[in-house]
Amino acid sequence: YEGVSAAIWQREESALTRYQHPGHHTLSCYLDGGQDIRRLYPSRSISGGAPGRICLMPEDHDSNWDVNGKIRFMHLYFSEQHLRHLAGRIQDKGSDHLVLQDLTFIDDLWISRLCQQMMMPLNWQDNADQMMLSSASDML
């Protein structure tokens, strides 16, 4: 669907990963592993990845990650235009002051369950299931 897409990522090898102003917002839901991932900052690093944890990365963010161990996660990518349209439709008012926070390794049971129990079991290639995926991504 226009302005939104999803992907399942899996890694088993160690790697340094950098996101530099990707041009889209990213909601990441850890499905398996992630305990050995660290987000790197200039003077510190934070860890805390685990199944069910959530990261939210605004389109203009810049982040560095030390990815170690096995990991599997779902990414939902969405454009600023899609977010503003959806926010305006839901709130029935302008979304001029909408700002996404950069969040790392957050516990949010509702988001985690929606990703793991509603979206993951669907056949992403099936037309009927794609309608469910679209609705679920709007809820996210």
In a domain, 129, yes or no: no
Classify burial at 20, counting beta carbons within 10 Å of its beta carbon; exposed 0-12, middle 13-18, buried 19 or more: exposed
In a domain, 42, yes or no: yes
Q: State which residues form the domain around 62.
A: 4-120
**CATH number reported for the structural domain that contains residue 20 in this entry:** 2.60.120.10
- The phi and psi torsions of 114 (rounded to 5 degrees) equal -60, -45
Q: What is the DSSP string of 43-82?
A: S-EEE---TTEEEEE-TT-EEEEEE-S-EEEEEEEE-HHH
In a domain, 139, yes or no: no
Q: Is 39 in contact with 17 (CB distance < 8 Å)?
A: no
pTM: 0.84
Q: How many CB atoms lie within 10 A of CB 128?
A: 9
Run of H or E including 89: helix 80-91
In a domain, 8, yes or no: yes
Q: How many CB atoms lie within 10 A of CB 81?
A: 10
In a domain, 37, yes or no: yes
pLDDT of residue 90: 73
In a domain, 134, yes or no: no
In a domain, 136, yes or no: no
Residue 38, CB-side half-sphere exposure with 13 Å CA sphere: 11
Pairwise CA distance, residues 73 & 120, whole Å: 10
Nearest 5°: CA angle at 140, between 55 and 12?
40
Encode the chain (140 residues) as per-residue pLDDT tens digits: 578 888 899 988 888 899 899 889 999 999 999 999 999 999 999 999 999 999 999 999 999 999 998 999 999 999 888 888 877 777 765 666 778 899 999 999 999 998 888 888 888 888 888 888 878 887 77
In a domain, 34, yes or no: yes
Give how many domains the chain has, as a whole number: 1
